[in-house]
Structure 1
Amino acid sequence: MSRLTRRQALGAVTGAAAGIALVGVATASADTAPDRADGAAGAPGGAGGPAPFDEVFQGRRIQGLPAEAHAHAGHSTGYRVLVDGRELHVMQHGKSGWSSPINHYERFAGPLDAARTAVTSLKGASVVPFDPTS
């Protein structure tokens, strides 16, 4: 019966630690990646925010534009997303991405991705106003 030697155990632990370190470096470099033009955070569009967008996706018009920072419940994104002219509340979660109340537990690269996923999830339903006080 072969037994695990100290050298083999040390090699396995070192390999696992190196793999974890590489994942951490890759994640850190993704958080500081250059600006993107697809609505991701840091894209050109003013003050380091997401780029404006206006498109038709699955028959619905989605628009995103910088907005005056309006605070509600301590948040201020300074970005506004509309689906067929109705506001879709979006939240930026630091470097971890964006979300909306429709897909609250998912994170997206930018408000455009969050809006597209919300349109898909709505399946033709209208966006209703978001009231954080109710």
Structure 2
Amino acid sequence: MSRLTRRQALGAVTGAAAGIALVGVATASADTAPAKGNGKAAAPGGTAGPASFDEVFQGRRIQGRPTEAHAHAGHGTGYRVLVDGRELHVMQHGKSGWSSAINHYERFASPHEAARTAVTSLKGASVVPFDPTA
């Protein structure tokens, strides 16, 4: 019968603590890193925001444009992205960038980049409408 030694227990606890600390540092870095690129244009209301786009990417039509304030209170101007005419929910995370409902844990420099990555991730599947109340 094998028993756990103090050295083994200390090693396991130290390894777990180091792993947790590393995840915390990586998360903090991702949330505070400025987004790269500057696809900014005047959004409705006169504030600078990402530029509109309309293109075919990997056989899918992706469109994006700034919109007026939406249901999320306090977010000011929004941004709408469509993939083949179906809305892809995108959100801005302060200065750390943008994410989509498809690639929620990744940050992108612009909603255009988030839309392109979502199309790649979908691999031909359709976008399903996002309902935050469900």
* Band of TM-score, shorter chain: 0.5 to 0.7
SS of the equivalent of 1:117 reads helix
Note the 1:38-117 alignment, pairs <5 A. 43-46=40-43, 47-72=47-72, 75=75, 77-117=77-117
Equivalent pairs: percent with the same residue?
A: 77
Instruction: Specify the code of the residue in structure 1 equivalent to 2:34.
Output: D
TM-score where L is the length of structure 1? 0.67
Aligned length: 101
In structure 2, relative to structure 1, the CA distance for the partners of 1:98 and 1:77 (3 Å cut) is farther
Deviation digits for residues 29-72 of structure 1, max 9, x if unmatched? Answer: x8398x723xxxxx123320100000110000000001111123
Instruction: Specify the code of the residue in structure 2 equivalent to 1:71.
Output: A
Q: In angstroms, what is the RMSD of aligned CA positions? A: 2.5
Structure 1, unaligned runs of 5 or more: 1-23, 38-42
State the Cα distance separating 1:114 from its structure 2 match. 0.3
Give yes or no for the alignment of 1:36 onto 2:33: no
- Quick check: which one's strand share is greater? 2
Aligned to 2:126: 126
TM-score where L is the length of structure 2? 0.67
